[in-house]
């Protein structure tokens, strides 16, 4: 158990809908990262927050947004969902800004129908 929790574990929704994925980092970790893992196994970095502030952006679509709250939990919002958004979404946390050792949650499997 990494200490990172993600909810929900599974999510099935329809195209055009909006969903929110939630992540609680390990106790004491200030950095939260969001990743998307597609069926072909590739891991795509989406965005990083550090102590409430956005610090780095990867290949995140404009339809996606995230935030980190004062208690350090984070939410990833996905809107106007398309079939291609079906994937595993992972949250990871680390104690520092430089995310060398990242601790991953179990992921949320999103299925868009």
Partner 1 sequence: AQSVAQPEDQVNVAEGNPLTVKCTYSVSGNPYLFWYVQYPNRGLQFLLKYITGDNLVKGSYGFEAEFNKSQTSFHLKKPSALVSDSALYFCAVRDVDSNYQLIWGAGTKLIIKP
Q: Which is nearer to partner 1, 19 or 34 (CB)?
A: 34
Q: Which is nearer to partner 1, 2 or 80 (CB)?
A: 2
CB of residue 42 vs partner 1: minimum separation in angstroms? 6
CB of residue 56 vs partner 1: minimum separation in angstroms? 4
**Bond prior to 8 in cis (omega within 30° of 0):** yes
Q: What's CA 94's distance to the chain center, in Å?
A: 14
Residue 16 Rama label (left phi>0; alpha psi -120 to 50; beta): left
Q: Which is nearer to partner 1, 1 or 71 (CB)?
A: 1
């Amino acid at each position: 158990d990494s200490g990172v929790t993600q909810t929900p574990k599974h999510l099935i929704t329809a195209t055009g809908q909006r969903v929110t994925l939630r992540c609680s980092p390990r106790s004491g970790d200030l950095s939260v990262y969001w990743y998307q893992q597609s069926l072909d196994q590739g891991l795509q970095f989406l965005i990083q927050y550090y102590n409430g502030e956005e610090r780095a952006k990867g290949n995140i679509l404009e339809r996606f947004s995230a935030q980190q709250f004062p208690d350090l939990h984070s939410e990833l919002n996905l809107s106007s969902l398309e079939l291609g958004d079906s994937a595993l979404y992972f949250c990871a946390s680390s104690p520092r800004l430089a995310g060398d050792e990242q601790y991953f949650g179990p992921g949320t499997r999103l299925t868009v129908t």
